[in-house]
Amino acid sequence: MSLASGPGRAVGSSSDQKLCIQKHVDYIKNLDSRRDELEYWLTEHLRLNGVYWGLTALHLLGCPEGLPREDTVRFVLSCQQESGGFGAAPGHDAHMLYTVSAVQILVLMDAVDELEKRGLGGARKVGTFIAGLQDKDTGAFMGDEWGEMDTRFLYGAFNALSLMGLLDMIDVPKSVAYIQKCENLDGGYGIRPGAESHAGQIFTCVGALAIAGRLDLVNNDRLGGWLSERQVEKGGLNGRPEKLEDVCYSWWVGASLAIIDRLHWIDGEKLAAFILCCQDPESGGISDRPGHMVDVFHTHFAIAGLSLLKYDGVKEVDPV
Ligand SMILES: [Zn+2]
């Protein structure tokens, strides 16, 4: 779904702060050269996700060639396990979240065919791992063989399989019925049936329904009302009532609103101004809220949020 048809306002010209595009590009490109820093090793369990966040941010900043293609593809393939799934880093157990990142990176680099040539099997082998994590009775998805259920994993499965054209490998209608069970009276969705509404889970449920072509099941006005109440005085968004604002909800809330065509229900100017206050204008990178340490996760979701708002100089993202 493209925002081009939506009524969202273009922003960026009236804020006092500008997005430091080149600083953020340099910050992301240099992440991999900091291997001597403790933080690099502490985040090893996020490595493949980190590559996806950095690469996507570079694409949105107009620098798609920012990471070396051959090194990146080789690293992704080195994370694949015999099951067809991917771990966070070489030798780590395969999990849905890293497998989705692997597929997204290969798609971004137009390198899905490398799975056939140099991986442990083609796209269908990856699809088999993902499809094997669906609970045949409920339609829900586990993250790995240990069986934890979460609507994040369901969305991840839909995302990766649809990118590879393999949605027919799973029971889509059963998953759709499961998502419906996760809907609450406030119009939102939770991590599993009966769980409280949370913006992150709403994004995964609404995104999965969009991929399934079943947005007709969403109560747009009720959900749009709940989501637009996530904007706090300072312009940022929170994930649930009474919680602090956080830059990453610019994406989880913003993309959900964009998918149901209600992004104009929040103040885009105020949100963009909040996001810009979270950047490090000297060393690049963006943090969860002003004055905090920057990281690649929040850098990515901040830029993706600005993209939803059609910020000057940022490429348009598909909210689904
Ligand atoms: Zn966050």
pLDDT tens track of the chain, all 320 residues?
Answer: 333 333 444 454 445 689 999 999 999 998 877 777 766 766 777 789 999 999 999 999 999 999 999 999 999 999 999 999 999 999 999 999 999 999 999 999 999 999 999 999 999 999 999 999 999 999 999 999 877 789 999 999 999 999 999 999 999 999 999 999 999 999 999 999 999 999 999 999 999 999 999 999 999 999 999 999 999 999 999 999 999 999 999 999 999 999 999 999 999 999 999 999 999 999 999 999 999 999 999 999 999 999 999 999 999 999 99
Residue 47: which residues within 8 A CB-CB, separation 6 or more?
79, 88, 89
Gap from CA of 288 to ligand 1 centroid (Å): 5
78 class by beta-carbon count within 10 Å (0-12 exposed, 13-18 middle, 19+ buried): middle
d(CA 159, CA 165): 10
Gap from CA of 70 to ligand 1 centroid (Å): 31
Asked if 68 and 314 touch (Cβ cutoff 8 Å), the reply is no
Gap from CA of 77 to ligand 1 centroid (Å): 28
Gap from CA of 119 to ligand 1 centroid (Å): 33
d(CA 270, CA 15): 9
Predicted pLDDT at 35: 73
Gap from CA of 292 to ligand 1 centroid (Å): 11
Gap from CA of 266 to ligand 1 centroid (Å): 19
Gap from CA of 41 to ligand 1 centroid (Å): 21
Distances (CA, A) of 318 to 68, 166, 305: 24, 20, 11
Gap from CA of 110 to ligand 1 centroid (Å): 29
Gap from CA of 317 to ligand 1 centroid (Å): 19
Gap from CA of 131 to ligand 1 centroid (Å): 29
Gap from CA of 105 to ligand 1 centroid (Å): 22
Gap from CA of 141 to ligand 1 centroid (Å): 24
Gap from CA of 310 to ligand 1 centroid (Å): 21
**pTM of the predicted model as reported, rounded to 2 decimal places:** 0.92
Asked if 271 and 236 touch (Cβ cutoff 8 Å), the reply is yes
Gap from CA of 294 to ligand 1 centroid (Å): 11
Gap from CA of 178 to ligand 1 centroid (Å): 27
Question: What residues have a C-beta under 5 A from ligand 1, the ion?
Answer: 246, 248, 288
Predicted pLDDT at 147: 79
Predicted pLDDT at 42: 63
